[in-house]
């Protein structure tokens, strides 16, 4: 995540108007934070002297990381939102190589750092922050926006103690719902993700955001996560069961609302409206109003979205490169951790086979081709995938088989190879898998 807060290492007394590069009417200062694809800089309007945070994104890195849609979604989402508990987007500037998002400057810190340095909060302080979180998230829902990555690191607290929700890169809009009225993209952060997302059967964006808010409330009042384990498979099982310990020293009201929020069944989980009616929540509650400029139009430079114009060489390089995935996606695709097995029966002869290797992507592809070369299978390469085909005279007759082999990059030195059957004879598929696993030195039963 790209942080918008000052960060302790910069110090509160450092001059905020240090001279720097000019970007239109803005003068850029120090770096506030850095992420995988850009930086956040302190900036000041040279006319009004108003401070801002400018998120500068490199277009080439967006292409390399394949996150074009994520950046578009973040900009499109922030354009819709005008609320005191949501970080505000003012305008989007662009050049041929950069996208610059002019954002509200928050003079505070991440909620994560607040808890890490102070520990748990008393119920009065924790409740006030939770009330602001619910105000901000429910406002987003009223505008058709579902955050899908609510966590301590994505919540800022300014110098006056006001909460600000940020980082909408994984948010969902109504057009992303399928015909069943549900979302189906698995995303979020392991300790905060709702159990229905893990079940991979579709989920309600509002209900899953409520769950994540409940995790934050638990941390605010206890100082630690409700679901945590070094073994990710065990962690996900705890999440799926809603298996967390409720400290007895919490008040009855606090224990009750947490229990109603961290209900593993989304059908019976408390809603945003229900939270607002809860007696513990209502104590000292004053609902925040949307900003007066709620309908103000946000200027977006058209060049910000002209990031799909790849050269032929770039397209070729991307098509031949392995797909890059993060740890959360790896957890979801791993057969030993995927919780869909708790809900579905799977024919072992039909399953996907996966194993990890330290071979480079290029060496991997060559080794796979060499392994198949002395068999009756034909090999085709396209879009970073290998298609292995064996057919009889007539397509898809007994004995025919079509297999896709794909390589996923976890890091520069770690790759996951996935073998999956498209159609064909299960016994022939097992024989091919056995040969590939043997050639790669993968012990049987260890993939």
Residue 408 to residue 331: CA distance in whole angstroms: 13
Query: How many other β-carbons are positioned within 10 Å of the β-carbon of residue 118?
Result: 10
- Asked whether 110 and 152 are in contact (CB, 8 A), the reply is yes
308 by Cβ neighbours in 10 Å (0-12 / 13-18 / 19+) ranks as exposed
263 assigned to active site: no
Q: Which two tokens stand for residue 244?
A: 């967390």
Catalytic residue among 45, 58, 135, 149: 149
Q: Which two tokens stand for residue 390?
A: 């064996």
Residue 145 to residue 237: CA distance in whole angstroms: 28
Residue 158 to residue 106: CA distance in whole angstroms: 6
Q: Which two tokens stand for residue 181?
A: 């009225």
Query: How many other β-carbons are positioned within 10 Å of the β-carbon of residue 343?
Result: 11
Residue 143 to residue 164: CA distance in whole angstroms: 17
Return all residues near 344 (Cβ < 8 A) that are at least 6 apart.
none
SS3 content of the chain, % helix, strand, coil (to 5): 35, 20, 40
- Which residue reads 């060489």 in tokens? 313
Q: How far is CA 212 from the centre of its chain?
A: 13
Q: Strand pairing of 414-424 and 353-357?
A: antiparallel
Q: How far is CA 321 from the centre of its chain?
A: 22
Q: Is 55 annotated as a binding residue?
A: yes
Of 130, 148, 149, whose CA–CA distance to 278 is shortest?
A: 130
- Which residue reads 């679901």 in tokens? 227
Residue 270 to residue 243: CA distance in whole angstroms: 17
**For the chain, how many residues are written?**
447
First to last CA, the chain: 32
Of 300, 321, 313, whose CA–CA distance to 66 is shortest?
A: 321
79 by Cβ neighbours in 10 Å (0-12 / 13-18 / 19+) ranks as middle
Q: What are phi and psi of 246, to 5 degrees?
A: -105, 110
- SS3 of residue 71 by DSSP: helix
**Positions marked active-site:** 149
Which residues are part of a known binding site for ATP? 55
């Amino acid at each position: 995540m790209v942080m918008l807060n000052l960060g302790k290492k910069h110090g509160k007394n450092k001059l905020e108007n240090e001279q720097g590069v000019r970007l239109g009417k803005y003068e850029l200062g120090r770096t506030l934070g850095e992420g995988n694809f850009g930086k956040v800089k302190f900036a000041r309007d040279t006319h009004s002297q108003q401070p801002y945070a400018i998120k500068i994104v490199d277009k080439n890195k967006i292409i390399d990381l394949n996150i074009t849609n994520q950046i578009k979604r973040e900009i499109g989402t922030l354009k819709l939102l005008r609320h005191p508990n949501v970080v505000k987007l003012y305008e989007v500037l662009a050049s041929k190589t950069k996208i610059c998002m002019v954002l509200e400057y928050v003079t505070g810190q991440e909620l994560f750092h607040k808890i890490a340095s102070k520990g748990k909060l008393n119920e009065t302080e924790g409740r006030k922050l939770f009330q602001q979180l619910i105000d901000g998230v429910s406002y987003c829902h009223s505008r058709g926006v579902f955050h899908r990555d609510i966590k301590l690191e994505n919540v800022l607290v300014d110098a006056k103690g006001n909460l600000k929700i940020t980082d909408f890169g994984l948010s969902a809009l109504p057009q992303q719902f399928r015909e069943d009225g549900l979302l189906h993209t698995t995303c979020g952060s392991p300790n905060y993700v709702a159990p229905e997302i893990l079940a991979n059967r579709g989920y309600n964006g509002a209900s899953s955001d409520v769950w994540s808010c409940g995790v934050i409330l638990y941390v605010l009042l206890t100082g630690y996560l409700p679901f945590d384990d070094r073994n990710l498979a065990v962690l996900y099982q705890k999440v799926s069961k809603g298996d967390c310990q409720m400290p007895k020293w919490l008040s009855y009201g606090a224990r009750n609302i947490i229990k109603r929020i961290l209900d593993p069944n989304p059908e019976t989980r408390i809603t945003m409206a229900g939270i607002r009616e809860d007696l513990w929540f209502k104590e000292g509650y004053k609902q925040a109003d949307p900003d007066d400029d709620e309908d103000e139009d946000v200027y977006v430079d058209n060049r910000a979205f002209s990031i799909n114009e790849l050269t032929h060489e770039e397209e070729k390089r991307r098509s031949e490169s392995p797909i890059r995935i993060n740890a959360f996606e790896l957890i979801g695709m791993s057969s030993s951790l995927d919780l869909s097995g708790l809900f579905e029966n799977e024919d072992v002869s039909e399953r996907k086979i996966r194993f990890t290797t330290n071979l480079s992507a290029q060496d991997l592809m060559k080794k796979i081709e060499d392994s198949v070369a002395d068999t009756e299978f034909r090999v085709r390469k396209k879009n970073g995938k290998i298609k292995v085909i064996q057919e009889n005279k007539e397509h898809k007759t007994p004995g025919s088989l079509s297999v896709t082999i794909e390589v996923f990059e976890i890091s520069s030195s770690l790759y996951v190879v996935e073998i999956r059957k498209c159609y064909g004879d299960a016994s022939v598929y097992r024989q091919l898998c056995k040969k590939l696993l043997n050639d790669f030195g993968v012990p049987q039963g260890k993939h």
